[in-house]
Amino acid sequence: MEYIKAAFLGLLQGITEFLPVSSSGHLSLFQNFFNAEGPDNLFNVLLHFATLLAVCVFYRRDIAAMVLEFFRAVRDLFSGGSREEKVPPARRLVAMIVLGTLPLAVVLPVKGAVERLGGSTLFIGCALLVTGLILFASDRFSPGRKTEKTMRVTDALLVGCAQALAVVPGLSRSGSTISAGVAVGLDRPFAVRFSFLLSLPAVLGATLLELVDVVRGGVQSALSLPQLLLGMAVAAVAGYFAIGWIKRLADRGRFGAFAYYCWAAGLATIVATLCGLGA
């Protein structure tokens, strides 16, 4: 039974982490309506690490190029600058991701208060309705042409602000950042790529903070090592294919198809809560 639980939680994390439906919101609904236990602290850290690996594998070429350009930038800094007239695209992408991550610093002081919102199914239901509106609007923006070569500092900061707002349970991180990217004129395929690459420092930072709490409380889990590994494997594989699916839908301008699901889930959650079934 524990193997099934580990696989199910891994599947839930892997799919909802990348599909624009809010992983934190779905996990809270699962816990509230079914009176079920979510992943313990250690398992939660491992699941987030697994989804991090999924992004790294899917965008391995971009990440390799960015790492290389980072070290080249450090070299140029200490050697008196680069002789190249134009900044390489991968180096600009690194800079834009750093800028896009900065708005998350504003959320850190209110992290506890934001997490407590996940205890209200009524709030999550309303947030899912908002997510649906964001996704519905995203397909109606005029296609942009900006990529890492032409996007501006303000573009990165605005997408970063969308990511910071999406820490609220029920608001989708991928949905918010991809929609914000399209809204500021990013090319649709690049908006998807930038969104998932932007998630790397955010997820890594959140995972490290959770890891600190795990170490302080004692590294332990109700699941055995094989069960933990099974959950991680399911989360990583599901996450990898979810990224590919989102990429194809966004490229075709059909990203807003998830709006109808979010509206249905949000309305069902609100009705169930008002009927006394939720928290």
Question: How far is it, in rounded angstroms, from Cα 131 to Cα 105?
Answer: 23
Alpha carbons 158 and 177: distance in angstroms, whole number: 9
Residue 277: its pLDDT value, please?
77
DSSP letter for 146, please. B
pLDDT band at residue 267 using 50, 70 and 90 as cut-offs: very high
Q: What is the pLDDT of residue 28?
A: 86
Q: Which secondary-structure segment (H or E) carries 106?
A: helix 104-107
pLDDT band of residue 91 (cuts 50, 70, 90) is very high
* pLDDT reading at 110 higher than 70: yes
pLDDT digit string (tens) for 198-207?
999 988 988 8
Instruction: Give CA–CA dist 211/218, Å, rounded.
Output: 10
Q: What value, to the nearest 5°, has the Cα angle with vertex 153 and ends 151 and 155?
A: 60
pLDDT band at residue 119, thresholds of 50, 70 and 90? confident
Burial class (CB within 10 angstroms; exposed 0-12, middle 13-18, buried 19+) of 134: buried
pLDDT in tens, 57-79: 999 999 999 999 988 888 887 87
Residue 81: left (phi > 0), alpha (psi -120 to 50), or beta?
left
**At residue 4, does pLDDT exceed 60?**
yes
**Average pLDDT over every residue of 243-248:** 91
pTM score, whole prediction:
0.91
Following CA atoms 99, 100, 102, 103 in sequence, which dihedral angle do they give, to the nearest 10 degrees?
A: 140
Q: Does residue 35 carry a pLDDT above 80?
A: no
